[in-house]
Chains A and B, each alone.
Chain A
Amino acid sequence: MTKVKVFIDDKEVIVDEGTTILEAAKKANINIPTLCYHPDQKIKGICRICIVEIEGQKNFSASCCTPVRDGMRVRTNTRRVREARKSIMEFILARHDGDCLTCIRNGNCELQKLSEELNIKEIKYDRIAENLPLDESNPSIVRNPNKCIKCGRCIEVCHDVQGVGAIDAINRSSDLKILPGLYEKLSDVACVYCGQCINVCPVGAIYEKEDIERVWDVLEDKSKHVVVQMAPAVRVSLGEIFGFKPGSIVTGKIVAFLKAIGFDRVFDTNFTADLTIVEEGNELLYRIKNGGKLPMITSCSPGWIRYIEFFYPELLEHVSTCKSPQQMFGALAKTYYAQKFGIDPKDIVVVSIMPCTAKKAEVVREGMDSSGYQDVDIVLTTRELGKMIKESRIQLEDLEEVEFDKPFGIATGAGAIFGATGGVMEAALRTVYEKVTGKELKKVEFTALRGIDEYKEAKVEMDNVKVKVAVVNGLKNAKMILDMIKEGKADYHFIEVMCCPGGCIGGGGQPIPNTNEIKKKRIEAIYNVDISYAIRKSHLNPVVNVLYEEFLQEPLGHKSHQLLHTHYINRKN
């Protein structure tokens, strides 16, 4: 690669030809403000906040999309540049509702931060914010068009990463709006509620439907027995909200907090992740033995389920009928748990803490009431939990670590790794291998299935059967594998699909920023959680085994089918 020499604010920098001014400046430790730029996305060059002056050039250039030339002299911090950036920022702010104090992103908003950094004191232009109605049409996601700055990040993630295309830019000029298709509401289009748009939105234009107040309400209500479950991916990310390094494991502190604010029992979704593996593993073995539909595909990611229901309903038979761990938990909490501890299920409230926005829609799906009640009542995202902690003014870092309650707090490392892409598959293989071969699996790590690569596969020899598996994350990759199935080219037995890039650690309800760099650290932490467990195979979870003995009787049995399995809907039409 040819090297070029450039001068940025008189600092000499040598970079590869083709490097952008923004990247070159970063190398010289010169910080240029950005807004439409996102480290995991394509360069857009549309907000124009990152403009710089180039010697010999009349107009400014956007540093994010302008490659350096040999000998180029760039100025990033002249009065002209600063004034122009302020003006552009004021253009954006003039149309923005500026309602920071009551905004969900207050304190974690790129626009707010930039406004402070640019020292905006007034908005020269007429304030033209319209008071447009919010889109609260669905259970998961709210769109607030009054805060949208039209940076296009949400469009890119929805189209290019998820291949869903539920939102797009319509109209032109000052009428340009980012909307769900030609409709006004997300519930009118094929949105899977994955919340990836939320993760990349620099402002509060799109966010999860907040359920914090509902949780405070049930905690206040003494007639209710409130239990909470926490998904595997929450414990490795929540700390970021409180200044912990990405990948810090704060499980015990979260449990302590949840107990402190009055939950009657604090349980671990890892437990029902183990249960899912037992059911799903048996389902896979059943399908292999009895000529059932293969490849079988995992069903624990609700965004993925909505995707296949919308776009490939003809392949729904490939999807495991197992409910997700969240839903298995809910169904058991209001049946087995209620019976065992003599609590009237109508008085039980099940709260979930999930890294996911689609989970909020999952709880109200048809069939998620096999306990006789809505199995899970309220879902909070990791971010909402963070807000509750802040609201309570309890200092997370000061809390002594506490363990989950029994019996649903007993889990294995296999349950824990559900939080990362490839984890469900690895957990399943640990169980299926031992079920098929009757031998002990010594090396439990299937490293080929780990990491944020979009597409991974592995072959595992089990007696005389070579079990071939694949793992994909991000719906664009799910689409790819579904097309392979349609073309008869997917000779896999089992496929894991996670809706969100990186799996649940990259979920739409996770702390923002939620970049690839951060996701990698969360994944690393998930595998550290796995190692910390004494038992790392789901079928060896003693409580799961007791559950079968006392209640469910056998995997895929009548009771299991009734409580732990579900059916799907063709949403194409």
Chain B
Amino acid sequence: MVNLVSRLCGKLDPLSIDDYRENGGFKSLEKALFKMKPIDVIDEIKKSNLKGRGGAAFPTGLKWQFVFMEESDEKYVICNADEGEPGTFKDKVLLDGCPLQIIEGMLIAGYAVGAKKGFIYIRGEYPKSRELLIEAVDRLKKEGYLGKNILGSDFSFDIEIRSGAGAYVCGEETALIESIEGNPGRSRFKPPYPPNKGLWGKPTLVNNVETLANIPVILEIGAENYKKYGTESSSGTKLISVSGSVVNKGVYEVEFGITLREIIYDICGGLVKDRNLKFVQLGGSSGACIPADMLDLRLDFDELRNHGIGLGSGAILVVDENTCVVDFIKVTSQFFQHESCGKCTPCREGNYHLVRTLKRITEGKGSERDLELLKNISDVMEQCSLCGLGQAAPTALITTMKYFKEEYEEHLKGYCRAGKCTFKGGVLDD
């Protein structure tokens, strides 16, 4: 474990500007405003090799550069605090623990890309965090950290807090933008990408909470020092939320390069009641399910990608042998069926048919054909959906069908090895 990005969380009053300043707060902002040109800031972020912590892992500096290069009378910075991925609660720790650091990151981003206005889009299910942010913004305005001519510089920047009505898809950047614009949260097709045409058609930078919280750290210690954390392809640290059958659930800041095994057994104290691990779902419900024999995979964008796995939000759900894979996937699919925006055909209809088919299998009414259907539906969803939600919704299914195919097949014969699925004639023995 490390204490880099989250070092102030829980250590001081999250709303105290004085406490924050005493702990080095706003030094990075001052450095940016008075010692660096916007392009220098962008270069520094690029040098740090910071990749977006929301899930897509796009190089942050490059994204900033895209927005910077757009000519426009108006540009926006959006902090994506719509943390809704099941099993993910790491942004909440930052939002509650160091809101000023996130806002400092936004200010630096605004300065770098040439935006004067920012929005924090926070999920409606985090009402207390929202209140905290409102208060933080209010105090920062009074202290001259927000508003016109920040700290006497030429840079002006304001922040508004917006929140959604509880739609998971609003974490997807274009749906989020639609929601801020007052429309139903449904994704737009890309391109145009938000850096070119985002909020109200203007160049818009959308960064995750954790990404923004990294910014003051990078400027403070410098890109070179920052890169000492993590691996070559994945610099810095990652906040991970660990849940499921582990002894010590929670949010931890770890360096990239750590293995899943180290996280689960060293940091989290292993599985409850010493149960056997069945799989780990990485990155929330939209993430891959990794079987126990792959636990030595390291937390590293490239290494994971080589195995066809994304890190996503960094959530780690530990699933033990008492869980039925098929039942688990059914519940996951139900979540996505509920949360699909319904705009594009593959996601709108695909999720529906996945749930229907999985239900049939868990009820002991499945057939070989249903397994083919699952494969077919998930392929179409993954390859043809309009946005990331539809594309990623079947990831867990696809990976479990790859690693736990035999369990699906057992269900067709009326057998659930975890004893979770209720069949007509009760649970049958092998």
Measuring CB to CB, which residues of chain A are less than 8 angstroms from any residue of chain B?
43-49, 51, 58-60, 62, 65-67, 84, 87-88, 91-92, 94-95, 124-126, 128, 150, 169, 171-176
Contacts and interface: CB of A to CB of B under 8 A. Distances in A.
B346 A91 contact: yes
B184 A169 contact: yes
A59 B191 contact: no
Contacts of A92: 345, 349
Nearest to A49: B345
B342 A169 contact: yes
A45 B343 CA distance: 9
Interface stretch (B82-90, B236-244, B377-385): B377-385
Q: Point out which of A58, A87, A95 has the most chain B C-beta atoms below 10 A from its C-beta.
A: A87
Q: Point out which of B186, B338, B386, B391 has the most chain A C-beta atoms below 10 A from its C-beta.
A: B386
A91 B342 contact: no
B351 A48 contact: no
A176 B384 contact: no
A87 B380 contact: yes
Given A59-B382, A62-B386, A173-B340, A47 B376 contact: no
B342 A175 contact: yes
Contacts of A124: 373, 376
B342 A173 contact: yes
29 contacts: A46-B189, A46-B344, A46-B345, A48-B344, A48-B345, A51-B384, A62-B384, A87-B377, A88-B380, A91-B345, A91-B348, A91-B350, A94-B349, A95-B349, A125-B349, A125-B373, A126-B353, A126-B356, A128-B356, A150-B342, A169-B342, A172-B167, A172-B341, A173-B339, A173-B341, A173-B348, A173-B352, A174-B337, A174-B348
B191 A84 contact: no
Contacts of A91: 345-346, 348-350, 353, 380
Contact of A45 (B189, B349, B380, B391): B189
B245 to A, nearest CB: 30
Given A91-B349, A91-B350, A94-B353, A60 B342 contact: no
Nearest to B355: A174
A171 B337 CA distance: 12
Contacts of A49: 345
Contacts of B385: 48
Contact of B343 (A46, A58, A66, A175): A46
A174 B354 CA distance: 12
Contacts of A60: 383-384
A58 B308 CA distance: 11
Nearest to B167: A172
B204 to A, nearest CB: 19
B84 to A, nearest CB: 14
Contacts of B346: 48, 88, 91
Given A125-B377, A169-B184, 17 more contacts: A45-B344, A46-B344, A46-B386, A47-B345, A48-B385, A59-B384, A60-B383, A62-B189, A66-B191, A84-B384, A91-B349, A95-B349, A150-B348, A169-B186, A172-B184, A172-B342, A173-B340
A435 B114 CA distance: 63
A148 to B, nearest CB: 12
A83 B323 CA distance: 35
Contacts of A66: 191
> What are the 7 closest A-B residue pairs judged by CB atoms, nearest first?
A176-B342, A45-B189, A91-B349, A174-B352, A173-B340, A65-B189, A87-B380
Interface string B332-375: 00000111111111101111110010000000000000000100
B194 to A, nearest CB: 15
Contacts of A173: 337-342, 348, 351-352
Contact of B342 (A44, A62, A67, A171): A171
B388 to A, nearest CB: 11
A525 B339 CA distance: 51
Interface residues of B, number: 34
A111 to B, nearest CB: 12
**Chain A interface helix/strand/loop/mixed:** loop
A464 B413 CA distance: 94
Q: Point out which of B339, B356, B384, B386 has the most chain A C-beta atoms below 10 A from its C-beta.
A: B384
Nearest to A86: B380
Contacts of A175: 342
A525 B28 CA distance: 71
Interface in B375-407: 376-377, 379-380, 382-386, 391
A180 B400 CA distance: 42
Q: Point out which of B186, B346, B373 has the most chain A C-beta atoms below 10 A from its C-beta.
A: B346
Nearest to B341: A172
A399 B272 CA distance: 87
Contact of B191 (A67, A128, A171): A67
A94 B348 CA distance: 12
Given A58-B383, A59-B382, A174-B352, A43 B189 contact: yes
Contacts of A62: 189, 384, 386
Contacts of A171: 342
Contacts of A65: 189
Interface in B167-206: 167, 169, 184, 186, 189, 191
Nearest to B349: A91
Contacts of B186: 169, 172
A17 to B, nearest CB: 12
Given A87-B376, A169-B342, A59 B353 contact: no
Given A87-B380, A124-B376, A174 B349 contact: yes
Contacts of A126: 353, 356
Contacts of B344: 45-48
Q: Point out which of B341, B343, B349 has the most chain A C-beta atoms below 10 A from its C-beta.
A: B349
Nearest to A88: B345
Nearest to B373: A124
Nearest to B168: A172
A535 B189 CA distance: 55
Contacts of B382: 59
Nearest to A85: B384
Nearest to A58: B383
A176 B191 contact: no
A152 B349 CA distance: 16
B384 A88 contact: yes
Contacts of A58: 383
A94 B357 CA distance: 14
Contacts of A48: 344-346, 384-386
A125 B353 contact: yes
A92 B346 CA distance: 9
Interface string B234-273: 0000000000000000000000000000000000000000
Nearest to A125: B353
Contacts of B351: 173-174
Nearest to A168: B184
A287 to B, nearest CB: 41
Contacts of A51: 383-384
Contacts of B342: 150, 169, 171-176
B310 to A, nearest CB: 12
A84 B380 contact: yes
Contacts of A125: 349, 353, 373, 377
B353 A176 contact: no
Contacts of A59: 382-384, 391
A239 to B, nearest CB: 35
A94 B184 CA distance: 26
A91 B349 CA distance: 6
Contacts of B341: 172-173, 176
Contacts of A150: 342, 345, 348
Contacts of B350: 91
Q: Point out which of A46, A84, A150, A175 has the most chain B C-beta atoms below 10 A from its C-beta.
A: A46
A193 to B, nearest CB: 26
Contacts of B391: 59
B193 to A, nearest CB: 11
A48 B340 CA distance: 16
Contacts of A87: 376-377, 379-380
A124 B353 CA distance: 11
